[in-house]
Every structure is written in structure tokens, then in C-alpha cells.
């Protein structure tokens, strides 16, 4: 598979004020909006699910020698959390799970993937779903386990799947009824 | 009208003549004529402020709030006053509680009915009625008598008396003045030519020297000399202005120090400061007006705004020994709106207080700033407070306030990096979303 083309950063990514938390309300709201969109599309482009607050490439721009303060990083991610597009992992707010596709959308994606690969009534492990041959080249490839598990749980609640606990987390099997 | 019309400043303070000093102010005062001498066209002047100066009695119409019309003012020059008839004390009426106090002033009038400063044909009684019973009318009357005795109007103001002007032939003639007694300078060969000029310069230098010596010799003497000092400062300033225009070929440093000197001297000299003693209850209101008159020209020089702290320094320096407290200054500023002054006090978001002309708007400054951030340098590196100060001709502290105000309005945004706080064009508000930004870029 060809490597993904580099993400195209918006031109204002090289504007210094973009990296300073704006104190005026209207301006700040627009700034938060732009950051939220940028973080989501960047993660989606590279298939990233977890943002490390202290080490996320977008948060520092070496070419203009600017980086976001810790306060700004948390603020922008928090804005995503409020919208249900992200979740803090742990109370210290150092890592953030990004849902650039909502759980329901992931669940729908799994259904169509199951149908495409004729896995109805068959059993697959969670791990196979993200690393198996069938997953290669799809958005499920290397999907964060937490997200996958939640999407399957959602399907379980809808009566479309059943999970079987295995000896370890990786061995958890899923049976789909569609 | 029997009385002479008097000039008022924009804020409603009387414009004093050279050498004239305000001695006492009193409010709620009427000026009327005795019944039997009242001409048919006479209207009494009611409820105004009366200012007693060394040269005149000035009645100033009370301004009503929010009324842009200039109030009127009328004056009686002291030379026209023949006598005062102070209110009688302990009369029968005083037994029945307090009454408005009346002061009768006998003034000379010419045959045509106008005020006569000399050679009066007849005399009429002008009645001043002090309606404010709390005001110290006794002190006013006493002061009036003192002033009449002092005859300050016969003294030639020092600015004109000292031969400081460049052309010896163009001494202003005083024959047209009220006293008309000043003999014009006789022309002799001793005063002519280069030696004459040198002699005069020498005499002048000596005189200036003596004034300084006397003044600094003793603080009391300094106080009494304050007026002369102001005149001297004024004269030096005139000379500086004249010589910088004439020679032109000074070194930069010389020019700089001359400019500085001129600036210093420009801010010297309120010859007749409003004080608690001479204004009493009118203190803050009159102080407010005087301050407004004083600040006006300064604002023009400093691009329309000044920090209140600077105003305080300048004002007190100009007042010499009659210093006012910061509190009085603030009160005076707060009264500006009430007295319809052409200047106003303004508070920036940060709490910094400044004084600016009433007509002055931020729009012009914002437009300048908006232009500044769109220059190539401004786009790349932003503008700092000192960049803005240089471009706007304001002190950096005020320039920063303007930047913050422009930011608050959404015109600018900030970069708080290693180079300090810098301001940029606010691109945030131009963008609605990332997609739009990308689309805009591709166009």
C-alpha cells in the first residue's frame, strides 16, 4: 500500500497568533473552532486515535517557533470532549481518545464490513477485526481497541452481535447476527 | 447693555487679560440696576457666577446641563467703579432671619449711557445680590475693596513692559488702554544701532538675572514673583521660537534641547490658578473648567490623548505652588461632562485613565492600526506597542491601550511569544471553517 500523502496544513497554521490563546471572546471562539476542525481532520488523515497532550505534532510549529501552552491544548481538546468528539483517558488529562468517527458510525461501518466479508453468524476475535486480512485496507485496520470494543458493545445492545470472553482481551470473540 | 461683554474660554472660564488674576468667585449672584436709573432696555442678570479679578468684575451666566450654547458673560472694569456701598449690617431686617445680601457699586457712565472708565458724565448704582446665603459674601466685599485699592490695572503687565521683542520700534502703544497713562519710549541715539541693541540685551539679561535671584532667594518672594516668572518664561519661549525660526543652522543637539526647553516653558504658567480660597464652593467646578482650558492645547500636541497621570504632572507644574491633590484632579475631570467641556475622561478596559478631546474617536487610530498590521512587516512579525507608539505618535503605554482596544473590537489578534506581545490582523474572524480556509487558499 502506498504511504498516505502528507497532510496539507491550512495556511494559517503558519500564523503566530494561531498559537496564542486569544483573550477576546469572539476571536477565541473562532480560534477554538479552527483548532477543533484541524485536530479532527489531522487525526482522521493519519488514522490517529489517541492524542498525547504533551507530544502531539500539531501543537508545535517549529518553523515559526511557536507552540501551544498546556492551557490551550487542554482547552481545545476539552472543546472536542464537550462535543462528544473526544474523551479524556484518565483524570490527569494527559491523553485524549479522538472520535473523528462517532461510535455509532463505527458500528455501522462494522456492519457493512461484516456483510462485505460474509461473516454473518461467524465468529471473529476483536483482534482479527483490526489486524486480520479482511481488515487490511479498510478503516478498521489498526482501530483503537477501546473504540472497537465500544462499537461492538453498541451492536450487542442492538442485538446484532454477541461477545464471548476469551482468555485475554485479544481473544474476545464476536458473533454477528444480521 | 450697560456692561461690557467678556470673553469666555470654550469651557466657560473667563479669558483673563495679561497681568489679570482671579481673586474670588461667588455663585448665585444677580446683577441689577437701582430702580430709578433703570433704562428701558435693561434686563437684570440673574443667578450667575461672579468672578472678581484684579481688573474686572465678571458675571458669568450659569450653564445648564447638556446645553451646547456658550454662556454669556459681562464685565465691569474696575476703573469704572467709583465706590462700593457695602451691605448694612445689623439692620432691622436681619432680625427676621437671613436675607440676600446686596452690594451697591457706583459706576461712572458716559453721556451715551455706556460705562466710563474715566471722565464719567454721571454715575449709576449697580446692585449685586448674593442669593446664596452660605457663600461668604463678606469676604467677597472685603476682597473687592482690597482689589480696588491695589489698582492692579494701572500696572503694565510685565510681558509687554520688558522690551523683549525683536523690533525696538514696534513697542505696543498703551494709549488705547484703560489707564492710558503709559508714556511711549522716547527715541535717543543711545538706544539705536548695534550698541543700543547690545546695551538693551545687557540690561535685559541683568533684569532677568535679578528676577531669578530675587525669586530663588526666598520662598515668599518666589510666590509674589510667580507672575513675573511666568512672564519671563513666556518671554524666553518667544525668543526661542524666534531664534529657531531665524537662524535655522543650529546643530541637531542644539535644536533638540531648544525644543525641549520650549516644551518645558510651554507647560509653565497658569498665572491665576483656581484655589479653594478664591473659589470656595465653586472650587471643583471652576477647577474643572480651568483644567479643560489647560489640557486643550496639550492634547493637540500629544495626538489627542494623554494619560491622566501626565495631565496631573503638567497641571500641577503649571500651577506652581498651588498644587492640587490627585483626588481633586479626578473630581475636576468627572465634572467635565456637566460643564460641557471640550475634553473627556476615558477609562480603558485595563483601567488606565486618559484624557482625550471630546471629538476624538478611536476610529481614526484603529484605521491606522489596521493599516499598520497589513504592511509586509506587520503581516509577518506583527506590531508591538512600541511600533504602534512610533506610528501613532503616542506614548507606548497609551499605544498599548489602543492596541488592546482594537483587539477587543476584534480588529487585531495577539501573538504572545518569545518576542513579547505582538499584534496581528485578526484573520480568525474572517474564516468560518477549515474547509473555507482551504478553499480560500486555492483560489
Q: Which residues of A touch B431 (CB under 8 A)?
A: 12, 30, 34
Cβ within 8 Å, pair A27-B418 = no
Distance CA A113, CA A111 (A): 5
Q: Do A27 and B431 touch (CB under 8 A)?
A: no
Among all chains, which residue has been given the C-alpha cell 474523551? A87
Please, are residues B34 and B103 in contact by the beta-carbon 8 Å criterion? no
Q: Is residue A28 part of a domain?
A: yes
- Cα–Cα distances in angstroms (integers) from residue B98 to residues B47, B84, B89, B94, B281, in the given order: 18, 22, 12, 6, 19
Helices (H), A21-135: 25-46, 70-82, 103-116, 126-131
* Domain architecture of chain B: domains with CATH: 4-154 (2.30.29.30), 158-170+193-266 (no CATH), 276-357 (1.10.10.10), 362-430 (1.10.10.10)
Tell which residue, B335, B158, B285, has the closest CA to residue B230: B158
Which residues from B are below 8 Å from A72, CB to CB? none
| A2: in domain | no
Does A158 map to a domain?
A: yes
The total of other beta-carbon atoms located within 10 Å of residue B33's CB is 16
Task: Let me know whether A118 and A137 are in one domain.
Answer: yes
> Buried (b) or exposed (e) across B318-342, using 16+ Cβ within 10 A?
bbbebebeeebbebbbebbeebbbb
Distance CA B208, CA B187 (A): 23
> pLDDT: is B263 or A70 the higher one?
A70
Q: B314 with B267: CB under 8 angstroms?
A: yes
B428 vs A contacts (CB less than 8 Å): 17, 22, 27, 30-31, 34
Residue B360: partners with Cβ closer than 8 Å, 6 or more residues away: B299, B304, B305
- The C-alpha atoms of residue B389 and residue B396 are separated, in whole angstroms, by 5
Q: Is A6 among the domain residues? A: no
Which residues of chain A does B382 touch, with a Cβ-Cβ cutoff of 8 Å? 16-17
- Minimum distance, in Å, between the CA of residue A43 and any CA atom of chain B: 14
Test B428 with A31 for CB contact under 8 angstroms.
Answer: yes
Do A16 and A94 fall into the same domain? yes
Report the alpha-carbon distance of residue B90 to residue A152 in Å, rounded. Answer: 108
User: In which domain, by residue range, is A107 found?
Assistant: 103-176
> Is the domain of A137 the same as that of A157?
yes
Share of chain A above pLDDT 90, in %: 12
**B31 in Cβ contact with B59 (< 8 Å):** yes
Q: For the beta carbon of residue B418, count every other beta carbon within 10 angstroms.
A: 7
Query: Is A16–B429 a contact, with Cβ atoms under 8 angstroms apart?
Result: no
- Of A63, A98, A133, the residue that ends a domain is A98
Q: Is A167 among the domain residues?
A: yes
- C-alpha B70/C-alpha B11 separation (Å) is 9
Q: What is the DSSP string of B301-342?
A: HTTTEEEHHHHHHHHHHHHTT----HHHHHHHHHTTTTTT-S
Question: How many percent of chain A have pLDDT more than 70?
Answer: 96
Q: Looking at the structure, do residues A135 and A57 belong to the same domain, yes or no?
A: no
Domain containing A55 — which CATH number?
Answer: 1.10.10.570
DSSP for residue B23: E
The pLDDT tens digits for A121-168 are 878 888 888 887 777 777 787 788 888 888 888 888 888 888 887 777
Residue ending a domain, choose from A98, A115, A135: A98
Pick the last residue of a domain from A79, A98, A117: A98
User: Residue range A98-107: average pLDDT?
Assistant: 86
Give dist(CA A80, CA A83) in Å, integer: 5
Q: What angle do CA B85, B90, B95 make, to 5 degrees?
A: 130
Q: Is residue A1 part of a domain?
A: no
* A71 and A116 share one domain: no
pLDDT in tens, B358-397: 777 778 888 889 899 888 888 888 899 999 999 888 888 8
Backbone angles phi, psi at B128, to 5 degrees: -105, 125
Question: Higher confidence at residue A82 or residue B419?
Answer: A82
- Where helices occur in B46-157 by DSSP H, the ranges are 137-150
- Domain holding A125: CATH number? 1.10.10.10
Measured between beta carbons, the chain B residues lying within 8 angstroms of A41 are 434
Same domain as A58, residue A85 = yes
* Angle between the N-to-C axes of helices A145-157 and A103-116, in degrees from 0 to 180, rounded to the nearest 10: 80
- Write the secondary structure of B104-122 as one string of H (helix), E (strand) and C (coil): EEEEEECCCCCECCCCCCE
- A17 contacts on B by Cβ (under 8 Å): 382, 413-415, 424, 426-428
CB contact under 8 A, A37 and B434: yes
How many domains does chain A divide into? 2
Neighbouring CB atoms inside 10 A of B204's CB total 15
Distance CA B356, CA B193 (A): 50
Q: What angle do CA B240, B241, B244 make, to 5 degrees?
A: 80
In a domain, A4, yes or no: no
Is residue A113 located within the same domain as residue A56? no
**Alpha carbon separation from B411 to A21, A25, B399, B426 (Å, rounded):** 16, 13, 15, 6
Instruction: Please tell me the distance in Å from A38's CA to the nearest CA on chain B.
Output: 7
Q: Is A122 found in the same domain as A72?
A: no
| Three-state secondary-structure class, residue B75 | strand
Q: Give the best residue of A9, A15, A17, A66 to mutate against chain B (max B CB count within 10 A).
A: A17
Is the distance from CB of B217 to CB of B246 less than 8 angstroms?
Answer: no
| A72 lies in the same domain as A20 | yes
- B423: closest chain A residue by CA: A17
Residues A116 and A46 both lie in one domain: no
B109: exposed, middle or buried (Cβ count in 10 Å: 0-12, 13-18, 19+): middle
Pairing status of strand B305-307 against strand B353-357: antiparallel
In a domain, A3, yes or no: no
Interface of B with A (CB under 8 A): 382, 407-408, 410, 413-418, 422, 424, 426-429, 431, 433-434, 437-438, 441
| pLDDT 10s digits, A14-39 | 888 999 999 999 999 999 999 999 99
* Residues near B375 by beta carbon (within 8 Å), at least 6 away in sequence: none
**Chain A residue with minimum CA distance to B420:** A20
Same domain, A116 and A58: no
pLDDT-flagged residues of chain B (< 70): 1, 36-37, 63-70, 89-98, 156-191, 215-227, 229, 237, 240-269, 271, 433-443
| Distance in angstroms (rounded) separating the CA atoms of residues B323 and A51 | 64
Same domain, A68 and A89: yes
Contacts of B415 in chain A (CB under 8 A): 16-17, 19-20, 66
Amino acid at each position: 500500500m502506498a504511504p498516505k500523502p502528507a497532510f496539507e496544513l491550512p495556511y494559517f497554521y503558519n500564523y503566530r497568533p494561531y498559537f496564542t490563546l486569544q483573550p477576546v471572546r469572539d476571536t477565541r471562539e473562532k480560534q477554538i473552532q479552527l483548532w477543533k476542525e484541524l485536530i479532527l481532520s489531522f487525526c482522521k488523515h493519519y488514522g490517529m486515535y489517541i492524542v498525547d497532550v504533551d507530544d502531539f505534532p500539531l501543537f508545535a510549529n517549529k518553523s515559526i517557533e511557536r507552540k501551544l501552552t498546556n492551557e490551550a491544548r487542554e482547552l481545545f481538546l476539552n472543546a472536542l470532549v464537550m462535543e462528544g468528539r473526544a474523551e479524556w483517558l484518565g483524570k490527569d488529562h494527559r491523553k485524549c481518545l479522538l472520535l473523528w468517527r462517532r461510535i455509532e458510525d463505527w458500528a455501522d461501518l462494522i456492519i457493512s464490513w461484516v456483510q462485505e466479508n460474509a461473516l454473518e453468524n461467524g465468529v471473529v476475535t476483536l483482534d482479527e477485526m483490526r489486524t486480520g486480512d479482511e481488515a487490511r485496507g479498510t478503516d478498521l485496520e489498526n482501530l483503537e481497541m477501546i473504540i472497537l470494543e465500544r462499537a461492538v458493545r453498541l451492536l450487542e445492545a442492538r442485538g446484532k452481535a454477541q461477545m464471548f470472553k476469551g482468555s485475554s482481551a485479544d481473544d474476545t470473540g464476536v458473533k454477528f447476527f444480521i | 447693555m450697560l456692561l461690557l461683554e467678556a470673553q469666555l474660554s470654550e469651557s466657560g472660564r473667563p479669558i483673563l487679560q495679561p497681568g489679570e488674576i482671579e481673586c474670588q468667585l461667588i455663585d448665585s449672584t444677580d446683577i441689577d440696576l437701582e430702580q430709578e436709573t433703570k433704562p428701558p432696555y435693561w434686563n437684570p442678570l440673574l443667578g450667575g457666577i461672579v468672578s472678581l479679578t484684579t481688573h474686572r468684575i465678571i458675571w458669568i451666566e450659569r450653564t445648564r446641563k447638556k446645553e451646547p450654547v456658550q454662556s454669556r458673560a459681562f464685565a465691569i472694569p474696575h476703573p469704572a467703579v467709583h465706590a462700593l456701598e457695602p451691605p448694612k449690617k445689623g439692620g432691622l431686617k436681619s432680625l427676621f432671619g437671613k436675607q440676600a445680601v446686596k452690594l451697591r457699586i457706583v459706576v461712572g457712565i458716559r453721556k451715551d449711557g455706556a460705562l466710563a472708565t474715566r471722565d464719567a458724565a454721571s454715575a449709576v448704582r449697580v446692585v449685586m445680590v448674593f442669593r446664596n446665603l452660605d457663600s461668604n459674601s463678606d469676604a467677597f466685599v472685603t476682597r473687592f475693596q482690597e482689589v480696588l485699592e491695589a489698582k492692579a490695572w494701572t500696572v503694565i503687565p510685565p510681558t509687554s513692559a520688558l522690551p523683549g521683542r525683536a523690533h525696538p520700534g514696534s513697542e505696543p502703544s498703551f494709549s488705547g488702554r484703560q489707564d492710558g497713562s503709559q508714556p511711549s519710549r522716547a527715541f535717543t541715539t543711545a538706544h539705536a544701532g548695534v550698541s543700543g541693541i547690545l546695551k538693551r540685551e545687557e540690561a535685559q539679561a541683568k533684569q532677568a538675572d535679578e528676577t531669578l535671584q530675587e525669586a530663588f532667594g526666598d520662598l515668599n518672594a518666589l510666590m509674589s514673583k510667580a507672575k513675573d516668572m511666568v512672564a519671563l518664561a513666556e518671554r524666553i519661549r518667544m525668543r526661542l521660537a524666534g531664534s529657531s525660526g531665524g537662524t535655522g543652522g543650529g546643530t541637531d543637539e542644539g535644536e533638540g534641547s531648544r525644543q525641549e526647553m520650549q516644551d518645558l516653558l510651554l507647560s509653565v504658567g497658569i498665572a491665576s490658578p483656581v484655589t479653594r480660597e478664591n473659589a470656595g464652593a465653586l472650587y471643583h467646578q471652576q477647577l474643572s473648567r480651568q483644567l479643560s482650558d489647560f489640557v486643550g492645547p496639550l492634547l493637540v500636541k500629544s495626538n489627542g490623548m494623554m494619560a491622566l497621570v501626565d495631565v496631573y504632572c503638567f497641571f500641577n507644574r503649571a500651577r506652581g505652588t498651588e498644587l492640587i491633590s490627585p483626588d481633586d484632579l479626578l473630581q475636576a475631570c468627572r465634572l467635565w461632562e456637566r460643564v460641557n467641556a471640550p475634553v473627556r475622561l476615558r477609562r480603558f478596559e485595563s483601567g488606565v485613565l486618559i484624557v482625550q478631546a471630546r471629538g476624538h474617536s478611536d476610529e481614526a487610530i484603529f484605521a491606522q492600526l489596521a493599516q499598520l498590521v497589513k504592511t509586509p512587516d506587520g503581516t509577518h512579525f506583527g506590531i508591538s506597542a512600541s511600533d504602534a507608539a512610533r506610528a501613532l505618535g503616542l506614548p507606548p503605554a497609551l499605544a498599548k491601550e489602543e492596541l488592546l482596544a482594537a483587539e477587543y473590537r476584534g480588529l487585531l489578534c495577539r501573538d504572545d511569544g518569545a518576542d513579547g506581545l505582538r499584534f496581528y490582523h485578526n484573520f480568525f474572524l474572517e474564516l468560518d471553517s477549515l474547509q473555507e480556509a482551504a478553499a480560500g487558499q486555492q483560489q
